[in-house]
Amino acid sequence: MKRLVLQKKLPGFHCAVLATILAFAAARPASGQTSVVIDPARDVFFRAPAFQDIVRGEVERKGGSFVLRMEMAGPIPQNPKLPPPGINQIWWAWVFDLNSTTDPKGYPFAPGVAVPPEFMVYVAWDGAEFRAYAIDRRPLLTGKDAIVTAVPFSIDGVIVEAVLASALIDNLPSFLWGTRTFDWPSPPGTFGLINIVDVGGPYFNPFP
């Protein structure tokens, strides 16, 4: 299998964690610190390609981080073609519902649009490069800007991974999470609509 590994230059701690997780691309059973969901293949919208079709999602606690994994129905190309017409970005995303009583409004969604996840981690392709970030949407609840932080990531065939430092979600012992693939017809944070290509398994899943 052709191997593609992509990562940003980040602080030494994150790079060390990333080097550790590259050996864990194969599917593994869930443990007490791992939550796994399975999703059927060929259930995507918009006739999306297999590399946007989620078949497995996983969140694993490893030390002071969460290792986020997503397995696709087909390998992610080195240079994915952006879907027509005029898609701005493709996202492979993990979403976190940290508080079921709040729905922050705004970024990365359109201003004023309330969406449940208080936190997101995503790997994005914009037609030129892959990037990965965490978005803390909780400040939106008090009229402040969302906090965006670069995170380590890798892509290896059908597996996409990212590493989230647990401190970024206040070391919460439990939460709800889900996986998504998105097409963005316009830049995130604008008034453009978002296309949800696939939801991996149940909309939200418990961790652990």
The per-residue pLDDT for range 27-72, each reduced to its tens digit, is 344 445 999 999 999 999 988 999 999 999 999 999 999 999 999 9
Residue 157, token pair as written in the block: 């065939």
DSSP-derived 3-state class of residue 54: strand
Virtual CA dihedral for 171, 149, 62, 73, nearest 10 degrees?
A: 120
What pLDDT does 191 receive?
Answer: 86
Could you give the CA distance from residue 120 to residue 92 in angstroms, rounded to a whole number?
10
Alpha-carbon separation of residue 208 from 91, 107, 158 (angstroms): 24, 27, 24
Using CA of residue 150, residue 152, residue 156, residue 159, what is the dihedral sign? negative
Higher local confidence (pLDDT), 168 or 22 = 168
What pLDDT does 32 receive?
Answer: 56
Q: What percent of the chain has pLDDT over 70?
A: 85
Could you give the CA distance from residue 55 to residue 17 in angstroms, rounded to a whole number?
25
Could you give the CA distance from residue 132 to residue 154 in angstroms, rounded to a whole number?
9
Mean pLDDT of the chain: 87
pLDDT at 7 over 90: no
Question: pLDDT tens, 86-120?
Answer: 889 999 999 999 999 999 999 999 999 999 999 99
Alpha-carbon separation of residue 149 from 36, 70, 119 (angstroms): 25, 20, 11
Could you give the CA distance from residue 110 to residue 91 in angstroms, rounded to a whole number?
16
State the CB neighbour count (10 A cutoff) for residue 8.
Answer: 16
Could you give the CA distance from residue 22 to residue 42 in angstroms, rounded to a whole number?
27
